[in-house]
Amino acid sequence: MRRATKAVAQKLNPNQERVLNQPLLFSAFVMNTPSHILHGVWRQPGAGQVNFNSLKFWVDLARELEAGLFDVLFFADVHGVYGNIGSSYDKHVTTGLQIPSNDPSVILSALAYNTEHLGFAFTSSIIQEHPYNFARKISTLDHASNGRIAWNIVTNGIPNGARNFGFDDIIAHDERYRWADEYVEVTYKLWEGSWDEGALLQDRHTGWHADPAKIHRINHHGERYRVEGPHLVSPSPQRTPLLFQAGSSEAGMQFAAANAEAQFLIAPSPKIAAAIIEKTRKLLPAIGRPADSIKFFQGLSFVVGSTEEEVARLDRELDEAIDYEAMITHLGGAMGIDLADYALDHPLTDIETEGIKGLLTWVKEAVTGREPTVRDIGGLASKSSRISGTPEQIIEALKSWQAAGIEGVNVINATIPGSYTIFIEELMPLLRTAGLAKQAHEPGTLRRKIFGHDTLPASHHATKYRGAFNKGS
């Protein structure tokens, strides 16, 4: 059993001190698929995620999370099966390893209609959709939700995904981030610059629905995209959605520093999380953003028991339910490595990847005192971010993570809705008492709930496009 640890006594930097004694933000990390992170658990009798095709299933979950004072329902997504050229995807299919996988963006308006406060984040890769159409989709969803949409910006780390969109293979890691720079530039121009404030008139007396002098073409001409504009959707409550990002490589941290408002981590320990957070925050002042411009969310799963004996039993039962071969298949695929080519005891120090480099780094850093191996990949994915304990022990563990600088928790499930029901019923009351969870929902957009304002602050570089297209439109 991995017991919760007491908050580590240490000298805190100003950013760590700032987040202490503040309520944490809570996000439910899900995917529209039967097997997302903890593979094999869908076989358990209480695992409702086998009903992933049901809209009612997701509506019911959204309502439960909102009532339980969660802040965000966060959908992961993929655009291909994990694995390299020539590798079989039989294991993916037989275990439901993110296949079937439905498009989460299609159901978000229904979830928004059935809730009032819950935010909705979804993952979309730069390879999946042209930025002009994607910007239109986001604006439409932001209108439909009254400003509760967030975009998790990802670059394509899956070779099969690249081939599904006409590429021969995965594009080099750092080049994908250069591509992402242009992708977000197009969307920022559309969201922030194409429509001025006050452009939408809807004046029945004059007959003017909108003012053409305040609606502009963006005339973007870049390496990958040519977009004339204007944006077809009037400004939504947030204009630009709340921006999530999950990269922890050097290029990923640079991209996050420039763009992200929230960063998703799956660090194997508070110490490593603190290092990533501190390194990312140090990048912010150089580009004109305050050090507190990004909220950091750590991915964690929970095993909750009333006694240590019960915790040990539940921990053991979860371990027995997990398909560790599928865990290795998943992470190997995410890293762009066909792990069938390596023995389980093969050292990870010999392996490099153009896939998701942060995952490989986390595995290497999580193992101490010996050489990390392929076998450790399965263990990292299932246990390194798991907190097992009584509610009181778990609260102490969360204090340690908060002391490391995190401001939110992306709650990973074993079963849906079971993992979230237990979290809401057994942990949330004590978290509120301890000051680690809010007492009630605040009104307004998702960005207002998290940062206190509806649109991007002037310090974010996307805002340079406000008013930038007033001439020659």
Measured between alpha carbons, how far is 254 from 280 in angstroms, rounded to an integer?
8
Share of the chain above pLDDT 70, in %: 85
Question: Hey, where are the domains in the chain?
Answer: 14-325+385-465
Q: Is the pLDDT of residue 473 over 60?
A: no
Nearest to 106 by CA among 75, 130, 152: 75
Confidence label for 4 from pLDDT (cuts 50, 70 and 90): very low
Q: What is the pTM of this model?
A: 0.89
Measured between alpha carbons, how far is 299 from 199 in angstroms, rounded to an integer?
41
Taking only the tens place, the pLDDT of each residue in 351-365 is 665 544 556 666 666
Residue 424 CA, chain-centre distance (Å), reads: 20
Confidence label for 173 from pLDDT (cuts 50, 70 and 90): confident
Taking only the tens place, the pLDDT of each residue in 14-32 is 656 666 668 999 999 999 9
Taking only the tens place, the pLDDT of each residue in 247-296 is 777 888 899 999 999 999 988 889 989 999 999 999 999 999 999 999 99
Ramachandran category for residue 89: left, alpha or beta (phi over 0 → left; psi -120 to 50 → alpha):
alpha
Residues 466, 247, 465: CA angle, nearest 5 degrees: 5
| Per-residue model confidence (pLDDT) at position 364 | 66
Measured between alpha carbons, how far is 472 from 458 in angstroms, rounded to an integer?
24
Measured between alpha carbons, how far is 355 from 332 in angstroms, rounded to an integer?
9
Question: What CATH topology corresponds to 14-325+385-465?
Answer: TIM Barrel (3.20.20)
Confidence label for 469 from pLDDT (cuts 50, 70 and 90): very high
